[in-house]
Structures are given as C-alpha cells and as structure tokens.
Amino acid sequence: DAGVTQSPTHLIKTRGQQVTLRCSPKSGHDTVSWYQQALGQGPQFIFQYYEEEERQRGNFPDRFSGHQFPNYSSELNVNALLLGDSALYLCASSRGTVGSTQYFGPGTRLTVL
C-alpha cells in the first residue's frame, strides 16, 4: 500500500517565478491538506481540498492556490515567488474532513533564490 507521495523532492526557483507541487494521497483517502514548514518551525496549514473544492484555508495570501483532481491527487501552486517562500512543503491525506488521522508525505524542499 503506497503512502502519500510528493513530487518533486527538491526544487530551486528564482524570485518572481511560479511553481507547482504535486501530491498523491494514500490509497482510500479523499482529503488532501497542504502545509508549509520553515526551518526550525512547526508546519503551518495552507489549505485543504475535499471533493475537488477548497474547504479550509489558513493565513496565506492568494499567491498560494491549489487544485484537487477526480482521483483525489492535488497540486499546490505558488505565484510570484518570494525569498520567504523557501520552505519544506508537506502534503497530508486523510479519510474525510473531520478529525481522522492524517498521513504526511516526504515533502518538497523549495528554495527561492
């Protein structure tokens, strides 16, 4: 049983560029959440997708957007990259949207130069 997978593993971009990160949830899971983890900090919630719609959003600007596909996989898009967007981006999947165990992927390390 494959767990949560994310691609790419690492990414280097320059300021002002746009980036797309991808996530495939654990088998049987229908909900995907995205988190940003800066160095030395705990993960911060970006948003959550369920039934191809954004259901919850954290305190992140509109430069951060997402999408969920019919097969439950998800993308995170970040426009107009800033140096401060450099972080580990984590995807988590779960069954349903309320209180179930969340399983995290290995993350995508984004570096903005």
Partner 1 sequence: KQEVTQIPAALSVPEGENLVLNCSFTDSAIYNLQWFRQDPGKGLTSLLLIQSSQREQTSGRLNASLDKSSGRSTLYIAASQPGDSATYLCAAALTGGGNKLTFGTGTQLKVEL
Residues that bind partner 1 (CB under 8 A): 4, 6, 31, 33, 35, 40-45, 48, 55-56, 58, 88, 90, 92, 94, 96-107, 109
CA–CA separation, 25 and 29 (whole Å): 6
Question: Least CB distance from residue 12 to partner 1, whole Å?
Answer: 15
CA-atom Rg of the chain in angstroms:
13
Question: Least CB distance from residue 89 to partner 1, whole Å?
Answer: 10
Question: Least CB distance from residue 23 to partner 1, whole Å?
Answer: 11
Nearest to partner 1 of 36, 85 (CB atom): 36
Residue identified by tokens 């580990």 is 88
Q: Provide the edge-to-edge strand list for the sheet that holds 5-7.
A: 5-7, 19-24, 74-78, 64-68
CB-based contacts of 84, cutoff 8 Å, min separation 6: 112
Question: Least CB distance from residue 22 to partner 1, whole Å?
Answer: 15
| Token pair belonging to 15 | 């300021």
CA–CA separation, 30 and 26 (whole Å): 9
Nearest to partner 1 of 38, 80 (CB atom): 38
Nearest to partner 1 of 33, 81 (CB atom): 33
Nearest to partner 1 of 79, 108 (CB atom): 108
